[in-house]
Chains A and B, each alone.
Chain A
Amino acid sequence: MSGRPLFVMFAATVAGLATEPASAQTEVTIELGASQIGPAAGLDEESSRFGMAGLRVSHYGLGGSGITTSLMFGQAFGEPNGGDFVSGVVGATLRDRWGSAWIGGLDLQLVGFQVNSPYPYVAFALEGGPSISVQGGPVSVTAAAIGGVGRSQVEIWRFRTGATLLFEDELWRVGGTGEITLGTGPVRAGVTGGLHESAGGSYTSGGALVTFSGRWGIAEVRTDVWDTPLGSEVTGGLTFAIPMSGWSLRGFLGKSEPDPLTLAEPGSGGGGILLGRRIYSSDDERAGGADGPYEIVSRGAGQARVRISMEAPASARSVALLGDFTLWDSMQMRRTGGRWVAELDVPEGTHHYGFLVDDEWYLPDDARDVVPDEWGRRSAILVIEGVS
């Protein structure tokens, strides 16, 4: 399905970008947002503006497989008696890798969607399939097969006669997609294509995409030409996801794709944006959350303002911070509550540092990310990135 499932797949991507965990992880995220679309058939302009709120729970295991559940509610600003929608998705992903180049996958999604305006409409579908990717140097090739079944129901009420008609559709699709991309750096470009048979007829698509990724997040610009039973359509736009330490911003601007399974027509053009806040992460619990050894206060050109804090023995009279970024010169720390704190500018790079407590070299026993030195002592590590 081109609408809700992509919405949730996108959410899963954001979750991955935001944390990119290397072990089992559970996350709960709430999202708030709004969207504006070009007025679709049967909707006036005001009814095409939506507020949205949702909850997403994802769990990814140590084996690289995972499950994401999403529930999203929306309300049209101009439709006090309708225009609301609710969508839910349960998506499961299996991934495995063979050798250094091949990745096999299996994706399944169970989707439910209901909207009340302009017609009461409800749909349920299960779809998914296997995929395989191979990467050789800068070239990546992915092929995926997809199949789906579902059921939808539309209720039409005629004002003149007061009669109601109920249309029920058995939905199905089989097909496949392919993608070839080229790139070695933060930019990848490629071509895509797909072929689908469905209850509504044959769908073919071909297009091009450019993906930009970096420390800031990921964005994709793509355009596709669709040949559908209802005619040809050009779809595409800008999609982005920007993780921001516990927050995420994602959005879309453009024209969404038709869906061979639900026979949804392409969007009429518009955009939406969602702000997400991670309210629970098993990773936060493991890492100690905000009580980590250092915190980036702000970022400037080539350097960052860093606040370093540590818990010294209760008997400590003086605590100094020193590291390669101070040329191992001592910088006195101040006592704040039960911790000793210092704030300074640190240039981009990976640095070694530690403390002098009452003039003796000291590193807390529970310090994370430490390296040994030539004399049997340990130094802590501080990493400053993304300030160039």
Chain B
Amino acid sequence: MRRTILILTLATSLSGVGLEAQVTARDRAQQALSPEMFRDLTSLADEMRTSGIPDEPIYVKALEGNAKRVPPDRLLPAVRAYAGRLGEARLAFGVDATTPLLVAGADALQRGVSPDQLRSLPTDRPRSPMAVMVLADLLESGVPADRALAILRDVMTQRARDDRMLDVSARVRRLIREGLTPQEAIDRVRRNLLRARDGSLGPPVPPGSEPVIRDRILDRVDGTDF
């Protein structure tokens, strides 16, 4: 999940997008939320920064709830709980975790993924926020944790695109709807994933490099009365 608004701001301003894109999440929250809500949010953000946790995600989460017309009495407690999960995710992923990864981790924790399962994600290359989200998807679908982690390891080994990773959970859900158990579904999807890189490279060789075998033919012709 991409909620590093400062990065978004940088990216959009570099590419010449309109000035409105340079508004930060905090600025937007100040405009969109009630003064009381914004004050509470700012206080929470100060605590997070003190703990070394990025504070932009909570402004974005509050804006999300506000946009979805969530009543104020339900909005702030949810944002506080969300801030706690960002802290848990940071413990699971380490201090070097990026903001998108922490956001994905916090979402996954809310969906029932355990901190241990977050820690179990492959680490041989940078953890992907999408992998965290797909892990949550798969566990929600009833896929055993070891199998979910195994397929994510395969996908990451193949350096698959994020949308392909998302496709894994979509296909598992579809197979489950078609009557397979979660375990059968994940096993089938995983086996098939292995196929894509197994093909061999070879050229569209034009004729002429085909069996012209001129020398062999001439050798044999020379020995006859042809």
Residues of A within 8 A of B (CB): 2-10, 12-13, 16-17, 20-23, 33, 35-43, 48, 50, 52, 60-66, 74, 76, 83, 85, 93, 95-97, 100, 103, 105, 113, 115, 118-119, 121, 123, 135, 137, 152, 154, 156, 158, 161, 163, 165, 167, 184-186, 200, 211, 213-215, 218, 220, 230, 237, 239, 241, 250-252, 254-256, 259, 262-268, 270, 272-274, 286, 300-303, 322, 324-325, 327-330, 345, 347-352, 354, 356, 359-361, 368-369, 371-375, 377, 379, 381, 383, 385-386
Give the interface centre of B60, B133, B195 by most chain A CB atoms within 10 Å. Answer: B195
- Chain B stretch 94-112: residues in CB contact (< 8 A) with chain A: 100, 104, 107, 110-111
Contacts of B174 in A (CB 8 A): 23, 286
A52 to chain B, nearest CB (A): 7
In this complex, what residue of A is CB-closest to B158?
A20
| Apart from A270-B209, A325-B8, 10 more pairs, CB < 8 Å | A3-B210, A6-B202, A7-B204, A9-B201, A22-B167, A33-B204, A42-B214, A95-B194, A254-B203, A350-B100
B217 to chain A, nearest CB (A): 6
Pairwise interchain contact A13-B201, C-beta atoms closer than 8 A = yes
Pairwise interchain contact A386-B161, C-beta atoms closer than 8 A = yes
**25 CB-based A-B contacts, threshold 8 Å:** A4-B205, A4-B210, A10-B199, A16-B196, A22-B192, A23-B189, A38-B208, A40-B212, A63-B191, A83-B207, A121-B211, A152-B211, A154-B213, A163-B226, A252-B203, A264-B211, A273-B204, A303-B15, A325-B8, A369-B170, A371-B133, A373-B64, A373-B65, A375-B68, A381-B133
Verify if B188 is at the interface (C-beta below 8 Å from A): yes
Pairwise interchain contact A5-B206, C-beta atoms closer than 8 A = no
Pairwise interchain contact B207-A347, C-beta atoms closer than 8 A = no
Question: CA–CA, A380 to B224, complex, Å?
Answer: 77
Question: CA–CA, A272 to B199, complex, Å?
Answer: 20
| B43-51, B113-121, B124-132 - the one binding chain A | B124-132
Question: CA–CA, A165 to B25, complex, Å?
Answer: 83
Verify if B175 is at the interface (C-beta below 8 Å from A): yes
Pairwise interchain contact B202-A328, C-beta atoms closer than 8 A = no
Interface residues on B, range: 35 or more
In the complex where A9-B202, A374-B110 touch, is A263 in contact with B211 (Cβ < 8 A)? Answer: yes
Pairwise interchain contact B210-A385, C-beta atoms closer than 8 A = no
Pairwise interchain contact B226-A161, C-beta atoms closer than 8 A = yes
Pairwise interchain contact A220-B211, C-beta atoms closer than 8 A = no
Verify if B145 is at the interface (C-beta below 8 Å from A): no
Contacts of A100 in B (CB 8 A): 150, 153
Pairwise interchain contact A322-B206, C-beta atoms closer than 8 A = no
In the complex where A22-B171, A324-B2 touch, is A7 in contact with B203 (Cβ < 8 A)? Answer: yes
Pairwise interchain contact B130-A165, C-beta atoms closer than 8 A = no
Pairwise interchain contact B205-A252, C-beta atoms closer than 8 A = yes
Contacts of A230 in B (CB 8 A): 215
B170 to chain A, nearest CB (A): 6
In the complex where A23-B189, A165-B221, A347-B11 touch, is A272 in contact with B211 (Cβ < 8 A)? Answer: no
Pick from B2, B8, B213: contact of A350, CB under 8 Å: B2
Verify if B91 is at the interface (C-beta below 8 Å from A): no
Contacts of B8 in A (CB 8 A): 325, 347
Give the interface centre of B67, B78, B191 by most chain A CB atoms within 10 Å. Answer: B67
Contacts of A214 in B (CB 8 A): 159
Question: CA–CA, A351 to B166, complex, Å?
Answer: 12
Pick from B5, B104, B194, B204: contact of A250, CB under 8 Å: B204
Contacts of A254 in B (CB 8 A): 203
A362 to chain B, nearest CB (A): 10
In this complex, what residue of B is CB-closest to A133?
B198
Contacts of A268 in B (CB 8 A): 208-209
Pairwise interchain contact A103-B161, C-beta atoms closer than 8 A = no
A219 to chain B, nearest CB (A): 9
Contacts of A161 in B (CB 8 A): 226
Pick from B69, B161, B189, B214: contact of A41, CB under 8 Å: B214
